[in-house]
Amino acid sequence: MENIGGLCLILAFCLGVYSIFASVVGAWKQKPFLLVSGQRAVYSVWALVTTASALLVYAIMTDDFRIQYVWAHSNKAMATIYKFTAWWGGQEGSLLFWSFILSTYTAVVVFTTRKKHEYRAMMPWITSVLMFTLVFFLMLVAFVEHPFRILAIGRAATPMDDGRGLDPLLQYWTMVIHPPFLYLGYVGFVVPFAFAMGSLITKQPGDGWIHTTRRWALITWAFQSTGILLGAGWAYAVLGWGGYWGWDPVENASLLPWITSTSFLHSVMMQEKKGMMKVWNMVLVAATFFLCILGTFLTRSGVVSSVHAFAQSSLGNYFVVFLAVGIGATTWLILNRLPYLKSETQLESVVSRESSFLFNNLILLASCFAILWGTLFPVISEAVTGEKITVDAPYFNRVNIPIGLFLLFLTGVGPLVAWRRSSADALKRAFLMPTVGAAIFMSVLVALGIHHVYAVISFGLCFFVTATIGSEFWKGSKSIAAKDQVNLLRGAFELTHRNTRRYGGYIVHMGIVIMFIGFTGAAFNLDRTVEAKVGSTFKLGRYDLKVADMKGGENENYVWNHALIEVRSGGSYITTLKPELRKYAVSGSQTSNVAIRRALNEDLYLNFAGMTADSKVILQSYVFPLVSWIWVGYWVLLIGTLICLVPSKIKLQYAKMEVVGIARQAQPVEN
Amino acid sequence: MHPYAKFGILILIIVSTLGWLALEGVSETKTYYKTIEEMAAMGTDAQVKRLRVGGDVEVIERNGQQVKFRMIQKENGKNLTLNVVYNGKDPLPDTFRIGAQCLADGKMGANGVFQASRIQAKCASKYEAKPGAKPGGNSSYAKPATT
């Protein structure tokens, strides 16, 4: 079986190389049979990589501990679902998983565009770029980090009784889906990049690549957002420290392409509507792709110390070469094609929708640069001064909090400013009410005793943005409700359906606002650590906590201790929480099962940190105000993204009218 | 004034502000990566600068909220050890255990014990136990070779 798996990977690599060759030569020499052959090789590569992946999963499921990878990442006792996750649990398997997703994406791209004549010239180059990336990963998985290695002593295969298994901490539902979502996001950004390069190579005059890739970019952006949030949710609920983001290099690496792709999703509108920022969009889509590869490089090379990085390996050199070749070729191509990327219009005023998009891009890129700088600071400082210096969370917070607030401000301003230029009167009409409302809201917060400057500004901006988005929905819905004689809710639904991209985008912005409310809550976190015996009480914020009981025991896997904590507020009983500490017999590892009382206003979070020599429980207790808003905000963001993917009703009607030959009506305009 | 000039001035103001914030942030939080050997060579400087040192965890003693452990670093065939005491407020990660790879941030105490204010341990998803060892534990069974 391992031989078939290995053979599949080598064949996939060879066919991948052939696909690049056939596509490039076919396009160059105008040989259709080579082009078709190159595309068929894509399907063959997918079939081979899928077979290799299926064989590895089969080996994991059937406890084939002759294979080193299976032995290292699975064991007999693991539940089936967690055994499946072992596919991407280690270096070799995750590289195979990367290759599987990329080969699937490539096959989908080739299949869905096979009958689209507008892509006929670009497709060979798109296929080549996709396959070049895939061949790189297949090279790693087939020749460097092979997942089908057999454990052996001397020349004899060595059967092992059981594997080492997956860490108990990872046996949690969000960890099952967190890595696949991140990979789906990381890998998916290859597709917009390939279309952009295809457009540049074939000197396409139009924006065809943008219309197709916007949808890809949006879907992969949603995957990336989901992956990041799942990781944050897991850290919060499982790791026992109550945090959801630590500014670790590998966490940052997942955020960087998310930021540039967010920037791309905004600036792409400028190109579609105004013919501006064509070079910038090329740079953004390329930056997103290379940041995805950089993230993979950081995770796998050991170049920066990260708690999330795989063990140090020789993979780093391969990634450096790939990045150098890729960035060099892309830069040359963009510079060479500058005459085809000239803007069709100019910026007319600083107070315009165009300007707000430019600022949005600038600020997002500044954030990206600051995070990249902080992440690579140890490497840079070592190269320049010879001393390896790292920067910590306060650096990232200091730079990114003002950036975040400014972005929040732009989120509110953008929809209210007109394209080209806004007059002073128009600005006054649009901004007066939301600004006055936000100012009153902030004054009330200060009067209520909230004096944390950033928090007051953040809440004020959240109010401002909510007011602007709300007014956009209100005005549009009211107009439709009056015209079509329907209720306001139906009007809002109709409004959104008529222009899903615009109103879906507003819902995404609302999700971001809700998440900001959650982030801001961190300014008011409370914590207290106590050593308490049964019957003793202590206070945290508005809660009275009583250690009602402590119990201990053991089973075949671990020794456990838990405390029953009665929670009261203002004399009224609320709930009983049960934080637990486990010590695993085999590994000697200790895990805390935190107890969380979740609520929209605040979470009460208890961690059983240990026992003292005189049998007191060491209890770490936290109050995290508004943290649940982050998870709620994510769902709103996801719903908004899905709405953006639904075709707008206006376009559907327009297409139908054209088909039946009705005279051309006023051109529908999307904002 | 031309719109591009106005835009340029605004960009300059924003970038300068962010640059200043970044420089302040760097100077406030910079931490020096050192090996145990380099730290020993720093003398009293190691008691002043904020340092980060990494290694494998050995022998953990928990006494209430205080955690003492020994960190081992293998360099040039030598095993260097460092005694560390953690008095930080944050709970230690569950991945912190004997055999785990960890990073300790803090300053060297005058008594030669590293005073850590922050401990990070290798994320469970990426921890790869040494071949032949069970995760988190020391196992003596033979390391199998691979073909």
**Are residues A240 and A337 both part of a single domain?**
yes
pLDDT at B123: 60
Residue of A nearest to B91 (CA): A241
Q: Residue B3 domain-assigned?
A: no
Last residue of one domain, picked from the residues A366, A401, A416: A416
Tell me how many domains chain B contains.
1
Section A471-500 average pLDDT: 89
Query: Percent of chain A beyond pLDDT 90?
Result: 40
Q: Could you tell me if A360 and A428 lie in one domain? A: no
> How far is it, in rounded angstroms, from Cα A499 to Cα A497?
5
Q: Which of A208, A18, A238 is nearest to A113 (CA)?
A: A208
Same-domain pairing of A482 and A595: no
Q: How many CA atoms lie within 13 A of B106 on its CB side?
A: 22
Tokens representing residue A83 in the block: 């055994």
Between A and B, how many CB-CB pairs are < 8 A?
190
- On the 0-12 / 13-18 / 19+ scale of CB atoms within 10 A, A486 is middle
A199-244, pLDDT tens digit by residue? 889 887 667 778 778 888 999 999 999 999 988 888 888 776 778 8
Is B16 part of any domain?
Answer: no
Residues A513, A562 within the same domain: no
Asked whether residue A146 falls in the same domain as residue A198, the answer is: no
Q: How confident is the model at residue B125 (pLDDT cuts 50, 70, 90)?
A: low
**B115: distance to nearest CA of chain A, Å?**
18
Q: Which of A382, A402, A380, A378 is nearest to A392 (CA)?
A: A378
Same domain, A393 and A471: no
Residue in chain A lying closest to B28 (CA): A395
Q: Which residue type is seen at A141?
A: V
Please tell me the distance from the alpha carbon of residue A139 to that of residue A10, in angstroms, as a whole number. Answer: 8
Name residues whose C-beta falls within 8 Å of residue A223's C-beta, 6 or more positions apart in sequence. Answer: A181, A182, A184, A185, A188
Q: What is the pLDDT of residues A487-542, one digit of tens each?
A: 888 999 999 998 888 899 999 999 999 999 999 999 999 988 888 888 999 999 89
In terms of pLDDT, which residue wins out, A131 or B121?
Answer: A131
**Parallel, antiparallel, or unpaired for β A389-390 and B31-33?**
antiparallel
Mean pLDDT computed over every residue of chain A: 85
Tell me which chain A residues have a C-beta less than 8 angstroms from the C-beta of B131. 72
For residue A532, give the nearest of A611, A606, A590 by alpha carbon.
A611
The β-bridge partners of A6 are none
pLDDT-derived band at A655, boundaries 50, 70, 90:
very low
Q: Could you read off the pLDDT of B76-117 as tens digits, one per residue? A: 777 888 899 998 777 777 677 777 778 888 988 888 889 998
pLDDT in the model for residue B73: 83
* Residue B74 lies inside a defined structural domain of this protein: yes
Across the range A179-198, mean pLDDT stands at: 90
**What does the longest C-alpha to C-alpha distance in chain B come to?**
77
Domain contains A671: no
Angle between helical axes of A173-188 and A278-301 (0-180°, round to 10):
130
pLDDT, position A423: 74
Query: Are A406 and A294 found together in one domain?
Result: yes
Does residue B111 lie in a domain region?
Answer: yes
The three-point CA angle A513-A500-A276 to 5° equals 85
User: What does the pLDDT look like over A427-444, one tens digit per residue?
Assistant: 787 788 889 999 999 999
Q: Is residue A665 situated within a structural domain?
A: no
Q: Could you tell me if A420 and A270 are in contact, meaning their C-beta atoms sit under 8 angstroms apart?
A: no
Evaluate if residue A667 carries a pLDDT over 60: no
Query: Is B1 inside any structural domain?
Result: no
Q: What does the pLDDT average to over B3-15?
A: 81
The DSSP code sequence of B73-124 is: EEETTEEEEEEEEE--SSPPPTT--TT-EEEEEEEE-TTS-EEEEEEEE--T
C-beta contacts of A576-584 below 8 A and 24+ residues apart: A576/A548, A577/A604, A577/A606, A579/A606, A579/A607, A579/A608, A579/A619, A580/A608, A581/A608, A581/A609, A581/A610, A581/A611, A582/A168, A582/A558, A583/A558, A583/A559, A584/A168, A584/A557, A584/A558, A584/B136
In a mutational test of the A interface, the residue from B26, B50, B95, B101 whose CB has the highest number of chain A CBs within 10 Å is: B26
Interface test with B, best of A350, A385, A397, A596 (most B CBs within 10 A): A350
For residue B124, is pLDDT > 70?
A: no
Q: Let me know whether A372 and A247 are in one domain.
A: yes
Alpha-carbon distance of A260 to A284, in angstroms, equals 6
Residue A643 domain-assigned? yes
Cβ of B21 within 8 Å of Cβ of A153? The answer is: no
Confidence of residue B140 (pLDDT cuts 50, 70, 90): very low
A568 pLDDT above the threshold of 70: yes
Residue of B nearest to A392 (CA): B29
- Taking contacts as CB-CB distances below 8 angstroms, the residues of chain A near B24 are 398
**Has residue B138 been placed in a domain?**
no
Written as six digits, the tokens of A426 are 């128009």
Give the pLDDT mean for A654-669: 43
For testing the chain B interface, which of A248, A379, A587, A592 should be mutated: the one with the most B CBs within 10 Å?
Answer: A587
Whether A250 and A323 share a structural domain:
yes
Q: Provide the Cα torsion A645, A650, A653, A656; round to 10°.
A: -70
Measure the CA–CA gap between A620 and A661, rounded to whole angstroms: 72
CA B123 to chain centre: 13
Please state the φ and ψ torsions of residue A485, each to the nearest 5 degrees: 55, 50
Could you tell me if A337 and A399 lie in one domain? Answer: yes
Integer-rounded Cα Rg, in Å, for chain A is 28
Beta bridge partners of A544: A539, A568
pLDDT at A588: 65
Contact residues, chain A, for B147 at CB < 8 Å: 149-150, 152, 155, 157
In a domain, A669, yes or no: no
CA-CA-CA-CA dihedral for B103, B105, B111, B113, to nearest 10: -20
pLDDT digits (tens, 9 = 90+) for A108-161: 999 988 877 777 888 899 999 999 999 999 999 999 888 888 876 666 666 677
Question: Can you give the residue range of the structural domain that contains A620?
Answer: 525-628
pLDDT at B132 over 80: no
| Span A18-44, average pLDDT | 91
CA separation for the pair A424, A443 (Å, rounded): 26
- In CATH, what number is assigned to the domain containing residue B84? 2.40.50.140
Which of A170, A373, A398 is the closest to B125 by Cβ? A170
Is residue B140 packed enough to be buried (19+ CB in 10 Å), middle (13-18) or exposed (0-12)?
Answer: exposed
- Please check whether residue A305 lies inside any domain of the structure: yes
Please identify which residue in the block is written with the tokens 């990872």. A170
Residue ending a domain, choose from A146, A165, A184: A165
Task: Answer yes or no: is A666 within a domain.
Answer: no
Query: pTM of the prediction?
Result: 0.86
CA A483, CA B121: separation in Å to the nearest integer?
62
Decide if B18 is inside a domain.
Answer: no
* pLDDT for position A656: 41
pLDDT for B64 equals: 65
Q: What is the pLDDT of residues A403-424, one digit of tens each?
A: 999 999 988 887 777 777 777 7
Whole-number pLDDT of residue A404: 92
Q: What percent of chain A has pLDDT over 70?
A: 91
A624 falls within a domain: yes
- Quote the domain boundaries for residue B112: 31-121
A44-53, A64-73, B60-69: range with lowest mean pLDDT: B60-69
Domain-terminating residue out of A122, A148, A165: A165
What band does A660 get if pLDDT is binned at 50, 70 and 90?
very low
Same domain, A503 and A567: no
User: From the candidates B126, B138, B139, B146, which should be mutated to test the interface with A, based on the most A CB atoms within 10 A?
Assistant: B126
Return the pLDDT at A460: 95
Kindly determine whether residue A392 and residue B29, on different chains, have CB atoms separated by under 8 Å: yes
Phi/psi for A357 (5° steps) reads -65, -40
A309 neighbourhood in chain B, CB within 8 Å: 126
Q: Which residues of B fall within a CB distance of 8 Å from A305?
A: 33, 52, 54, 103
Are residues A78 and A143 located together in one domain of the fold? yes
Any domain includes B144: no
Report the number of distinct structural domains present in chain A. Answer: 4
Strand partners, A584: A558
Closest-approach residue (CA) in chain B for A66? B146
- In DSSP terms, B120 is beta-bridged to B103
